[in-house]
């Protein structure tokens, strides 16, 4: 594989930079005082962040940059995943809220393009592009996380409507979302992977109760979502009834590929932190900074592999699992390093901490890529089975009807 930019990529990168220079302010790669972590603690902060992100999303949509890999007739630019990645790689260098609506643009949108009806695409895709509708992912449940196919939320058919009852948890952004893509069990008499259906749910419909989960550092990121006999039109079913597992795999694969689309902090900023903290001369710190640089280079090359797979017409498979695992390790190692550089002050939070606690916020956020889109352990299973050819886990419930499974 040639890792140098092709003439087409060089021209596109110049076009992207010119557009970004015109519409946004470029970040100082070493500045620490103006760093933003996008972790909110109050409803007002949440609303302000969503409004800022929505305004930027609409600016991108006006020029076709909101989802450049989408077909042009759907508001994109018909770019290959490899070329679309040029915009994402450049956008992270500007002071914009650029990755807040990736559930819509990177996950729901491609899923609707593959699985949705013409009417669903006409109704939803333009509103996703402009963030007129914000989407969340209603997958995980208290009893179904890594074993997602064990979900128990049920949808019963009543004429032209589904009646949905159940509970979801760890739903990112549900408290400000307009719509959610829900997995529900519609047939308990077949094995668990085959009785699931994907449905688009109005998050403000009667019977939907969203309860934010405040984390130990005061931020709100996740939510519980309770569904009490929520009525949803059957017309909002995504894909054929019973094909929800395939829809979910499309969503999760795109999620894994999107994780690592841009880092919240750079090695240059960690070097500057070490310099300002008087730790840059410490040989152990310097060695760990070199390790971080190496990890970032590995991620850059893994990103090429994922986008090359997509450009060849394949959904990213094991490649995206390898990349996601590398992203997780990068955030874990980087989170520990930044607080070690700060020394005893790294134990402080908020305004008492150096730089207003920005690095503490980043440290607390390192769990996100390690859980979202499938935990590190799930990714290792995928790599072991699909890349290394190791025997799969023994699945005694593979051919057993969900109704007959023993559940705690």
Q: Which residues contact 228 (CB under 8 A, 6 or more apart)?
A: 165, 207, 209
Determine the average pLDDT of the residues in 195-205. 98
pLDDT at 229 over 70: yes
For residue 30, pLDDT over 80 is answered with: no
- What are the catalytic residues? 255
Rounded average pLDDT over 155-182 = 96
- Topology classification of domain 259-386: Butyryl-CoA Dehydrogenase, subunit A; domain 3 (1.20.140)
Other beta carbons less than 10 A from residue 206's beta carbon: 9
Which neighbouring-strand residues pair with 31?
none
Q: What pLDDT, on the 0 to 100 scale, is given for residue 301?
A: 85
Q: What is the pLDDT of residue 2?
A: 54
Which tokens sit at 88? 């994402």
354-374 average pLDDT score: 83
Token pair, residue 122, equals 């006409």
The token duo for 394 is: 């023994």
Does the pLDDT at position 364 exceed 80?
Answer: yes
The 3-state DSSP class for residue 330 equals: helix
pLDDT at position 141:
95
Q: Which two tokens stand for residue 296?
A: 């970032």
Between 373 and 338, the higher pLDDT residue: 338
Q: Phi/psi at 388 (nearest 5 deg)?
A: -90, -10
List CB contacts of 132: < 8 A, sequence separation 6 or more.
126
**The whole model's pTM is what?**
0.87
pLDDT of 357 reads: 87
Span 14-37, average pLDDT = 87
pLDDT at 27: 86
Give the C-alpha separation, 170 to 144, whole Å: 11
236-287 residue pLDDT tens: 999 999 999 999 988 887 765 565 555 678 899 999 999 999 999 999 999 9
Looking at domain 135-243, its CATH architecture is Beta Barrel (2.40)
**Percent of the chain having pLDDT more than 90?**
56
Which pLDDT belongs to residue 51? 95
Residue 295 · residue 330 · CB < 8 Å: yes
Q: What percent of the chain has pLDDT over 70?
A: 93
* Mean pLDDT score, 76-87: 86
Which tens digits make up the pLDDT trace of 282-310?
999 999 999 999 999 998 888 777 767 66
Q: Would you say residue 334 has pLDDT above 80?
A: yes
Contact predicate 238/121, CB 8 Å: no
Mean pLDDT of the chain: 89
* pLDDT of res. 41: 75
pLDDT over 80 (residue 112): yes
Using a 10 angstrom Cβ sphere, with 0-12 exposed, 13-18 middle and 19 or more buried, the burial of residue 137 is buried
Q: Where are the domains of the chain?
A: 7-100, 135-243, 259-386
């Amino acid at each position: 594989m040639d890792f140098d930019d092709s003439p087409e990529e060089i021209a596109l990168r110049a076009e992207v930079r010119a557009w970004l220079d015109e519409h946004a302010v470029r970040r100082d790669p070493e500045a620490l005082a103006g760093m933003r972590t996008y972790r909110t603690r109050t409803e007002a902060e949440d609303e302000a962040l969503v409004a800022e992100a929505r305004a930027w999303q609409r600016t991108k949509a006006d020029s076709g940059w909101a989802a450049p890999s989408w077909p042009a007739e759907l508001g994109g630019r018909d770019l290959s995943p490899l070329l679309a990645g040029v915009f994402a790689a450049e956008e992270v260098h500007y002071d914009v809220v650029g990755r807040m609506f990736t559930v819509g643009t990177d996950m729901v949108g491609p899923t609707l393009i593959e699985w949705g009806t013409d009417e669903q695409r006409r109704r939803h895709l333009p509103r996703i592009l402009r963030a007129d509708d914000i989407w969340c992912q209603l997958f995980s449940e208290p009893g179904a996380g890594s074993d997602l196919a064990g979900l128990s939320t049920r949808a019963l058919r009543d004429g032209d409507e589904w009646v949905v009852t159940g509970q979801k948890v760890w739903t990112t952004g549900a408290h400000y979302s307009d719509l959610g893509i829900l997995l529900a069990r519609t047939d308990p008499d077949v094995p668990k992977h085959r009785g699931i259906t994907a449905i688009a749910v109005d998050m403000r419909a009667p019977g939907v109760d969203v309860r934010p989960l405040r984390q130990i550092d005061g931020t709100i990121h996740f939510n519980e979502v309770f569904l009490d006999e929520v009525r949803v039109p059957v017309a909002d079913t995504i894909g054929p009834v019973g094909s929800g597992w395939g829809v979910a795999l499309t969503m999760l694969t795109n999620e894994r590929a999107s994780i690592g689309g841009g880092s919240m902090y750079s090695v240059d900023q960690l070097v500057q932190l070490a310099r300002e903290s008087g730790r840059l001369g410490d040989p152990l710190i310097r060695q760990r900074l070199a390790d971080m640089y190496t990890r970032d280079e590995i991620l850059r090359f893994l990103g090429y592999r994922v986008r090359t797979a997509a450009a060849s017409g394949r959904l990213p498979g094991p490649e995206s699992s390898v990349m996601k695992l590398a992203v997780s390790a990068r955030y874990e190692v980087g989170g520990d390093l930044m607080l070690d550089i700060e020394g005893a002050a790294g134990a402080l939070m908020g305004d008492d901490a150096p730089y207003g606690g920005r690095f503490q916020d980043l440290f607390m956020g390192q769990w996100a890529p390690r859980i979202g889109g499938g935990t590190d352990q799930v990714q290792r299973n995928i790599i072991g089975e699909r890349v290394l050819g190791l025997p799969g886990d023994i699945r005694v419930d593979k051919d057993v009807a969900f109704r007959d499974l023993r559940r705690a």
